[in-house]
Structure 1
Amino acid sequence: MTGQTLSMAQPPLVDLTGWRGHLTALGVVAFSILTLFFADVQSMAAIWWHSSTFGHCLFIPPLIAWLVQQRLPGLRQMEPVAWAPGLIWLGLGALAWLLGAAAGVAMVRHGALILMLQGATIALLGPAVTRALIFPLFYAFFMVPFGEELVPPLQLVTAHLTMFFLDLSGVPAHMEGIFITTPTGYFEVAEACSGAKFLIAMTAYGVLVCNVCFRTWPRRIIFMSGALLLSILANGVRAFATILVAHLTTIDAAVGFDHVVYGWVFFAIIMIVVMATAWPFFDRKPGDPWFDPRRLQPETPPQRSAGRVAGGALALIVAAPLWLATTAATAERLPPRIDLPAVPGWIRSDTPMAYPWKPRFDGADHFVFGRYRNADGQVVDLAIIAYDRQEETRELVGFGQGAADPDSQWVWSSPARAPHDARGEQITAPGPVVRQVVSYYVVGGTPPTGSRPGVKIATMKARLLGQDQRAVAILISAEEGQGARADAAIRAFLTNIGDIQLLADRSAGIR
């Protein structure tokens, strides 16, 4: 049109300034993280719901929301900024997820989710707001189910404490691993009796109390030390009291007593004792400010592009699973079948077991199992397990995997002697029937190892670099019997079977 200038209408841009804009960008990135890694979110929530050890984790998200709500008056006086260096923390989280997924370590993947969410918060709200929210952000780590590794040592600690109290009370008792024998009966310090769930929950609760009720670090340290030590000691007293009740009355009465004192009621009593003892020493008053907004952010910061920072965050979180999917395509194939080896001086035997035993390796591509006997009457069981590659629910080492199937009557009782490149453990079934098991693990043709962390590291390296991912477990086991030592039978079998590395490589089809 003559004399007139047409102006092209520009599409409206999303306003990513101020609290509304930055929280919108943070919401988009957080939603993307939770969606892309939903399988890990789901597995973490399933652990909270189904495992009594981590039932307390269900309370952590509401507690974090409460902690943030407590800080809202100070936060309203601050201004969020987009801060690109915060992407470093998010990138570390993405890298941690990649390493955890490659090694098959769920705890690392779960922790990595928290790191990525923290990194998104740091990058899209800025350093000043992050300092104001430092404790709620840190407390989010307690959503990660961790601490299962404490169960075996805590079982032994509880057993030793129980023996100590039994000796003081004059009750005759004998301890073998996590099993205690008295004139009344045979008692097991089971995983549920280790006190691990109380110790883990007390750690989460104690850290919260340290922030909410104390201002000075010496008082916080003393409180935490006392709370954790009391949890361990009280669990030992509970186990001792159960055995003492059985000794003075009957096993049925002891079972009834244990059911009454065991569980969260017991934990609640310990919490009350801890809080009643610490109450006079609280030095944070109700209504005390959590932080000084003017000190954290003395002047209004310049506005930066939250959109660009959010885009960088999205690129980082997509890169990790994309890399892992690329390297997964390089997995080598196993032979169509594997056979048990012929061992000089040993013949296959169908002698029945004192109690049925079979190691557990979920999702194995090959699983062969056989029993051998030599001229001296020694009997040994051999299991060979092979995977073409390891992934979630298909692992050489992991929760529930290995010599003692948690769904069976076999339970881990103590470490046992083994060659330097193997893992030795003693397991026990009703009877009692005692077995020793020596386990070798080989990943991608690497030297045999009995180290579970070593297996995870070798698996992680193979998956990250696209190397040979074939994995083999070789378990050699024998029962303890009248005049027949399990470790002697295992040593004799190992002498005759030859090179474990060669057996593993042939089972995997490497040579």
Structure 2
Amino acid sequence: MPVVPEHEDARMTGSIRSIPAHWRRPLAALVLLQAAILAIYWHSAWGMAMIWARSDTYAHGFVVPFIALWLVWRQRAALAPMVPRPGRLAWLLMAGAAALWLVGDLVSVNAATQLALMMLIVLSVPAVLGWRITRALAFPLGFLFFAVPIGDFLMPRLMEWTADFTVLALRVSGIPVYREGLQFIIPSGTWSVVEACSGIRYLIASVTVGCLFAYLSYHSMRKRMVFIGVAIVVPLVANWLRAYLIVMLGHFSGNTIATGVDHLIYGWLFFGLVIGIMFLIGARWVDPMPPLKASVPGSLVEASYLNRWPWFALSLPFVVVLAPYAVLAIMNLGTKTAPVQLARPIVAAPWHATAMPPSSWEPAFQNASAELHMGLADAQGRPLGLLVSYYRQQNYKRKLVSSENVLVRSLDPVWARVASGSANVQMQGRALRVDSAVIRQHARGMVGAGERLLAWRFYWVHGTFTASDYAGKIRGALGRISGWGDDGANIVIYTPLSDAKEAEADASALLQSYLDSQGSALAQALRQTRGRD
């Protein structure tokens, strides 16, 4: 909060100093606008806080706003003489942020709505105080974005890199390794790379603290960028080494250490040591802090104008932040609210329904409105399973396209996804690229005659089949905008795999045969389900 020192002969109560007269109304308008944003978008703000509370990866979000306020407070002497003026371009940018929130809410993407919320809070500063003041506060305002819990999309790639490095390092060390997906076996036991091994929490923590350190320690932009680059690379490499060393500790100790809670403890100790060394090295090139100089006060001849504009600068953005809710109210008129009665697809010859599905496996799809798991067989008796998870009245807990909707959880005690990819298939005469996965029973065993399945996954959304998460989100939003509604389905077809070399090719041919013969019946059942009231 910008303040100026009182005269030397004035008494001060604690560290509180008077606020310049030309700042009082603009600051009041800014506080009211930001309070209104938090109140209007309370669901997004609360969801962000809940992620901070339950996730170690994003727990730093609780302190980010306080650090940003402290960074602003450090610049109070330089800010005090500046004359706040509204930045009209910021009002247009706030409208764009509100539109982003609306789109994110339509597709139930927390990252988009929470990012849009932070954009609205940051843009409220130039909207009320102006761009000159915003430029002076560029880093504190930008630092606020570290409070947005975004980064989970990097996890699959980071897990792959960790597994690649660990397996390579083990082989270089002379230890034989058999790898299947993210699971691998060495002579002393079985290991698996899970979410906690991805290093995402180390990366985010390092980048957050690294950016703050670079801003406070260096004045050269080149130095800052170099240190931030180091803060990105170091935790990645450190996590790979951590994973390798933990496996080696387990291997040479007969799996008596580094296999339980101490696994995580050793990881954090190693990470803390590496990051500490990084900051000690970075401190060798710290620039001396220049004395803070207050700028010369400008002319305040516009005081009468300043008394009027803050309330206009408050009212227009207030209308902007309210607009998405008016749009949502109109769109929700087309959303069906009746309970879902899922229609079973009619099975036509040469296929026939079986009494039981071919496997007890089921994907980990969350909070579906209705589910169907049925078994089929072709004319030769080859089995196939059909799983349909139907969604209606989607929200942040029940949504069709979600990172939590997976074929197999990484910590599943029975099943493991051991291969991933995609397959080009035909559906109702049209090309469709589906997600393909090999799923195996006995995830922790790596040996034995566990059941193996080939599964294809795709969506039915806005009356169309697609396997793309992005296309599914977009078509879902278009469905709501057009009045079609938000109905959609997650569809999986699968079949058991034998041990023959050509097993996967034969299984793929069987799945394609089902789509050729029964695809239209499946689409008709989904349309019938949506049409029921």
Q: Does the alignment pair 1:469 with 2:480?
A: no
Task: Find the partner of 1:261 among 266, 269, 280.
Answer: 266
Name the stretch that deviates more: 301-310 or 343-352: 343-352
TM-score (norm 2): 0.84
Quickly say closer, same or farther: Cα 1:437–1:390, change in 2 above 3 A.
same
Q: Does the alignment pair 1:286 with 2:304?
A: no
Q: Does the alignment pair 1:350 with 2:369?
A: no
Corresponding position of 1:34: 38
- How much does 1:144 deviate? 0.7
Name structure 2 gaps, 5 residues minimum: 1-19, 425-431
Task: Find the partner of 2:178 among 165, 174, 178.
Answer: 174
- How much does 1:383 deviate? 0.3
Q: Deviations over 1:112-134 (max 9, x none)?
A: 10111112111111111111111
Corresponding position of 1:338: 343
- 3-state secondary structure, aligned to 1:199: helix
CA RMSD across the alignment: 2.7
Name the stretch that deviates more: 371-380 or 486-495: 371-380
Name the stretch that deviates more: 472-481 or 86-95: 472-481
Task: Find the partner of 1:74 among 56, 72, 78.
Answer: 78
Corresponding position of 2:233: 229
What CA distance in whole angstroms lies between the structure 2 residues aligned with 1:247 and 1:159?
16
Q: Does the alignment pair 1:195 with 2:199?
A: yes
Name the stretch that deviates more: 356-365 or 176-185: 356-365
Corresponding position of 2:433: 421
Identity %: 24
Contact 1:90 1:117 in 2 (8 A): no
What CA distance in whole angstroms lies between the structure 2 residues aligned with 1:117 and 1:398?
27
Task: Find the partner of 1:100 among 101, 104, 115.
Answer: 104
Contact 2:358 2:385 in 1 (8 A): no
Q: Does the alignment pair 1:491 with 2:498?
A: no
Task: Find the partner of 1:442 among 442, 449, 460.
Answer: 460
Corresponding position of 1:313: 317
Q: Within 5 Å, which residues of 2 pair with 1:356-505? A: 356-374=360-378, 378-405=382-409, 408-409=412-413, 410=415, 412-419=417-424, 420-427=432-439, 429-432=443-446, 434-446=452-464, 448-483=465-500, 485=503, 488-498=506-516, 500=519, 503-505=522-524
Q: Deviations over 1:155-208 (max 9, x none)?
A: 110011101211221111122211111111111011111111111222222222
Corresponding position of 2:88: 84
Corresponding position of 2:429: none
Name structure 1 gaps, 5 residues minimum: 1-15
Q: Deviations over 1:306-350 (max 9, x none)?
A: 111211111111110110121011124687331144263454253
What CA distance in whole angstroms lies between the structure 1 residues aligned with 2:246 and 2:86?
58
Corresponding position of 1:220: 224
What CA distance in whole angstroms lies between the structure 2 residues aligned with 1:351 and 1:461?
35
Q: Deviations over 1:88-133 (max 9, x none)?
A: 2221111110010011111000001011111211111111111111
Quickly say closer, same or farther: Cα 1:246–1:462, change in 2 above 3 A.
same
Q: Deviations over 1:35-63 (max 9, x none)?
A: 11111111110001101221222221121
Corresponding position of 2:209: 205
Corresponding position of 2:328: 324
Contact 1:363 1:394 in 2 (8 A): yes
Corresponding position of 1:55: 59
Name the stretch that deviates more: 500-509 or 164-173: 500-509
